[in-house]
Amino acid sequence: MIKGSSVSSLLVSLDGLLVGFTGLLVNSTVLLVSFAGLLVNSAVLLVNWPLDS
């Protein structure tokens, strides 16, 4: 009985770790995507700026 509960608690902690890791990956991806968008916007601005003036 005790062994079974310890196994299930281990699985729960592993599940929590997996969820945390997935959240971290998602956050990193979102950060990378927004950073890439910023770079693209800057490039577009740089290209358009001489054309405007």
pLDDT tens per residue, range 1-53: 567 788 889 888 999 999 999 999 999 999 999 999 999 999 999 998 877 76
- pLDDT at 6 (0 to 100): 87
Letter string b/e over residues 21-35, b meaning 16 or more CB atoms within 10 A of that residue's CB: eeeeeeeeeeeeeee
Q: What is the pTM of this model?
A: 0.58
- pLDDT at 28 (0 to 100): 98
Q: What is the DSSP letter of 13?
A: H
